[in-house]
Amino acid sequence: MEKFYKAWKEFGKNFEEGGKWAKLSSFYDAFDTFLFTPNTTAKRIGAQIHDGRDSKRTMILVVLALVPAMLFGMFNVGYQHLLATGQLEMGMTSALWWKAFGFGLLAVLPYIIVSYAVGLGIEFVVAQIKHEEVAEGFLVTGFIIPLIVPINTPLWMVAIAVAFAVIFAKEVFGGTGYNIFNVALIARAFLFFAYPTHMTGDSVFVRTGSTWGWDAGMAAVDGFSGATPLGVLATSTDATVMPVDFWTAFNGLIPGSVGETCGWAILLGACLLLITGVASWKTMLAIFGTAALTAFLFNVSGSDTAAANFPWYMHLVTGGLMFGAVFMATDPVTSARTECGKWIYGALIGFMVIVIRVLNPGYPEGMMLAILLGNAFAPLIDWCVVRANINKRMKRA
Amino acid sequence: MALSKKTKEAFLGPLNVNNPVLVQILGICSALAVTVQLKPALVMGISVTIIVAMSNVVVSLIRKSIPSRIRIIIQLVVVAALVTIVSEVLKAFAYDVAMQLSVYLGLIITNCILMGRLEAFAMTNDPLDSLMDGLGNGLGYAWILVAVAFVREFFGSGKLLGYQIIPDSWYVANGGFYENCGMMLMPAMALILVGCIIWAHRAYNDKEAK
C-alpha cells in the first residue's frame, strides 16, 4: 500500500502547474481524493457531533447499499424477459437462472455506462471551467438513474435526461450539495414529462425483444400483459382487483423499474444505511407510517375505485415507494435537516404518494412527484422548525 | 438621413444590452404562453412591435397636453384602441393564428413592456425617438419569442412554421428511433429556455464589459 501510494504521488507530479497534463488536474484530483482522502479520523478529545466522515465515503456507502437492489433488478429484468417469451414454461433450471441474470446484466449495463459517462462528463467539464475539484455527488445519482427507469427506455433519452438533470437541477444551483431537488428524480421527471409513452404503460417495463441480438426473434407469448401492479390498478374497472399478492410483490419478481421491485433487497440496503448512520430512520419511518395510514383511510372510506380499495400493506410493497423512501427521500442534501423536520417531511411524502396514486388516475405511481414536492417544501419545514424552537427558548428565558 | 446618437441608442439598446425580456424581465407571461409554435410567436412579436411603436408615437405627440393625474387612463385608451385594431385585422386576414393566440392578443394591453415604455420614454421624448424606442423594444421582445418558439417547435413537434422538418421515418411509431420531447410543449420549458438565453446574454455581455 505504501509503495502504491508513493508511485501514485509520483505520477501526480505530471498534473501539477507546468506539468505534462496540468490541464487534466481535476481528473487526477478526483481519483486522488477518491482513493486516499481523508486519511484522518475524528480526534479522541473533546465533543464531536459525528465521525470524521467524508462525503465521498458516504457516497460509496450508498452505492454499496444499492448493490443488492441492482443485482436483483438485473436478475428480474432477465426473469421477466424469460417469462414473457414463454421460456419458463418448463420450469426454472440453473441454466435459465444464469441466462436470466446474464440477459439482465447486458440489458442494464448500458444504462449505467451512459448515465455515468454523460453525468461525469458534464461534472468534469464544469469543474474544469470553474477551476474547482470534481465533486462526488454524481457517484450515487449515476447509480440510481439506471435503477429507476423502465428497461425499455431508449439510451439517448436517458442521456438527454441525465444532461438536463445535472445541468439544470444541480450545476446552475451551484453543484453538489446545493441542489434543491434530487438530481436522479429530476432526470426521471424529465423523461416522464418529455417522453410519456416510454415511461408509462404496459409495454415499457418488460423487455420482450432482444438484448445485443441475444434472443432475437423471440416474441411475447399470447396473453402476456407486462403491466405493473399499479398500472393494472389505474386502468381496472373492477374495484376489488388484486393484481399481485403481498409476498410476490415483496420478493420482487414483478414488472417494474429495474431496482424498485424487490422489497428485501431494498431493506438490505436500508439496514446498511441505518447502521452506518448515512440515512435517517425518521424520514423512512415517517414515509412508511403515513403512507400506510393514508392508504388505510382510503380503504375504509368506502370509495369504489380499485386504487382506493388496494389494501394499505400492498401500497407499501408495490411501485417505487420502498425504493424512494429508502434511497431518495433520505438524500441528505434535499431532505429536511432538522430532526423534527424529518418527521414532517417524511409524513408529507407518505401522504402525497398515496393521494397521487389513488386520486389521480393519470399517474399510477406517485413516489417521484411526492418526493420532488417534499424536496420543494424541505427548506420551509426547516425554517418553521427552527423558528418554533427559537420562540420556545425565548419564552423559557 | 443621419440619425442622432440618442435616436440610434433608443433603437439598438433594447435589442441587446437593455433588452426588455432579458434585462428588465418584462413580458415573460406571454413569452411562455405563445411560444409553443413559431407562427403565433412571430405574429405576436410583430403585433407587439407595431402596437408599442404606434402607441409610443401617439403618446409622444400628445404628451404635452396630457394632464399628469390621468395620464395612465389616456395611455390605456391609446393602447386599447391599437390592440383592438390589430386584433380585428388579424381576425380578418389571419383567422387561424388569431384563434391560436386567443386571449393573449387582447392581453397585449396588459403587457408590461407597453406601459413601461410609455411611462419611461414616450412621456418625455419626441416622436421620432419614441418611434425608434418602440420599434427597438418590440423587436427586442420579438426575437426572444422567436428564438424560444424555434427551439420549442423544433424539438417539441419536429416542425417549423407548421412544416415537418424531422423526417417521419425517424419516429418510433414508424420504426425509427426518434421521439419528440413533450417537455418542450410545457410552459416550464419556455421559462428554462428564457433562463438559458438570459444566462448566455449575461455571460457574453459581462465578458464584453471587462
Q: Could you give the ipTM of this predicted complex?
A: 0.83
A225: distance to nearest CA of chain B, Å? 20
Whole-structure pTM value: 0.84
> Measured between beta carbons, which residues in chain B are less than 8 angstroms from residue A198?
179
Please report the pLDDT score of residue A383 as a whole number. Answer: 94
Q: Is residue A304 part of a domain?
A: yes
Beta-carbon separation of B183 and A196 below 8 A: no
Beta-carbon separation of A154 and B186 below 8 A: no
Beta-carbon separation of B179 and A160 below 8 A: no
Q: Is residue A72 part of a domain?
A: yes
If one compares A200 and B74, the residue with the highest pLDDT of the two is B74
Is the confidence at residue A1, as pLDDT, over 60?
A: no
Beta-carbon separation of A193 and B183 below 8 A: yes
Nearest chain A residue to B152, by CA: A194
Q: Is residue A274 part of a domain?
A: yes
| Cα gap B63→B59, rounded to integer Å | 6
Beta-carbon separation of A195 and B179 below 8 A: yes
Question: Of B172, B183, B199, which has the smallest distance from its Cβ to A190's Cβ?
Answer: B183
Nearest chain B residue to A168, by CA: B192
Question: Of A154, A194, A198, which has the smallest distance from its Cβ to B183's Cβ?
Answer: A194
Beta-carbon separation of B182 and A193 below 8 A: yes
Beta-carbon separation of A194 and B182 below 8 A: yes
Q: Is residue A392 part of a domain?
A: no
Q: Is residue A379 part of a domain?
A: yes
Q: Is residue A263 part of a domain?
A: yes
> Measured between beta carbons, which residues in chain A are less than 8 angstroms from residue B179?
154, 157, 195, 197-198
Is the confidence at residue A45, as pLDDT, over 60?
A: yes
Mutation pick from A192, A195, A200, A372 vs chain B, by most beta carbons of B within 10 Å, is: A195
Which residues of chain B are at the A interface, by a Cβ-Cβ cutoff of 8 Å? 172, 177, 179, 181-184, 186, 192, 199
Q: How many domains is chain A built from?
A: 1
Beta-carbon separation of A154 and B179 below 8 A: yes
Q: Which domain holds residue A375?
A: 55-385
Q: Is residue A1 part of a domain?
A: no
The pLDDT tens digits along chain B (210 residues) read: 567 788 777 888 788 778 888 888 887 887 788 888 888 889 889 999 999 999 999 999 988 888 888 888 998 999 999 999 998 998 898 888 888 887 888 888 888 888 888 888 888 888 888 898 889 999 988 999 999 999 999 988 888 887 888 888 888 777 778 888 888 888 888 889 998 998 888 888 877 776
pLDDT tens-digit map of A120-163: 999 888 888 888 777 777 888 999 999 999 988 889 999 999 99
